[in-house]
Amino acid sequence: EIQQRDNSSATIANRASTVVLSSKDAESDFQKFFPEASHKTKVLSFKTSPSSIWYEGNPQHIQEKYYLPKRFFLISNQFWQHKNHLLVFKALKLLQEKSIYPAIVCTGHIHDHRQPDFSDTILQTIQKSGISQQIYLLGLIPKFDQVQLMRRSLAVIQPSLFEGWSTLVEDARCLGKRIILSDLPVNIEQNPPNCIFFERNSPDALASLLADWWENLSPGADLEQEAIAKTNSKLEVKAFGYRFLEIAKGS
C-alpha cells in the first residue's frame, strides 16, 4: 500500500501541470519528496460549508438518543494508531489519581485493515486502565448526529500524531466550538478560533487541559459563538471559491 501511494504521488508530480495541496505543511512535504516539481504547487485550504439544519438541531435530543452523560468531550476520529487515542486514555488515568473523571465520547470506525489487531489494543487499554465508565464508543454515526454531539460537547479533542487539513477542525470552526489540538504543524497552521494546543506526546499536558475545561466549561451550543462562526464561515467559503478560481485561471 505504501509503494502504491508513493507511485501515485510520483505520477502526479511528473504529469500534472499544477499540484494543489490543502496546506502549506503538505506543500512542504511534497516539495521535499519531489523537488523537481516544487514549482507546480499551489495551496488551497478547504472550508466546511455548513448546512443550515446543523444550527437548527437539538443537541440534547441527540445526546439522549445515544444515552450519553450531560457533560462530555468529543473525539471524532477513526481508531487508527496515528489518531493517538491511547494518549487520551493515559491522560484519563492520570486524572483518576486526582479524582477527576471526564467523560469522552468517541465516534468513528474502530477497525483498521492495516492493523487489524489495534482495535483489540484500544478495548484492552480501556478495560485495563479502569476508564471504561468514562469512554463511550459510538462507532460510525450519521453526520447530523455527530454535528449535534459536537454542539452539545464541552469541547472537541483532536489528539492526532499526523493529519492533513482537518475536516473536523473546520466543522468545529463553523460551529464556534472549543477544540483541544495536538501541536502538529498543520494544526497550528489551521489555527481555528477557540482552540488550545498541547504537546502531542505528553499525556500530562493533555490531562492538565482536560481538568481545567472539565471544571470550567458548560455543555451545549454557545449561540453567540455559533452566530459569529456562521457569519465568518460564509466569508471563508467565499474566499475559498475565489482562491479556487485564481488557481484554475493560472493553470
Grid coordinates representing 101 are: 473523571
| pLDDT higher than threshold 60 for residue 218 | yes
Band (86; pLDDT cuts 50, 70, 90): very high
Distances 85 to 121, 148, 171, 229 between C-alpha atoms, Å: 11, 22, 20, 28
Looking at residue 251, its pLDDT comes to 56
Grid coordinates representing 228 are: 459569529
Mean pLDDT of 228-251: 93
Are 193 and 176 spatial neighbours (Cβ–Cβ below 8 Å)?
A: yes
| pLDDT higher than threshold 90 for residue 239 | yes
Looking at residue 250, its pLDDT comes to 85
Mean pLDDT of 155-165: 97
| pLDDT higher than threshold 90 for residue 155 | yes
Q: How far apart are CA 215 and CA 233, in angstroms?
A: 30
Q: Torsion over CA of 181, 184, 189 and 190, rounded to 10 degrees?
A: -40
Mean pLDDT of 216-242: 95
Q: Output the DSSP codes for the chain.
A: -HHHHHHHHHHHHHH-S-EEES-HHHHHHHHHH-GGGGGGEEE--------GGGGTS-HHHHHHHTT--SS-EEEE----GGG-HHHHHHHHHHHHTTT----EEEES----TTSTTHHHHHHHHHHHTT-TTTEEEEES--HHHHHHHHHHSSEEEE--SS-SS-HHHHHHHHHT--EEEE--HHHHHH--TTEEEE-TT-HHHHHHHHHHHHHH---S--HHHHHHHHHHHHHHHHHHHHHHHHHHHH-
Mean pLDDT of 143-148: 98
The tens digit of pLDDT for each residue in 32-75 reads 999 999 999 999 999 999 999 999 999 999 999 999 999 999 99
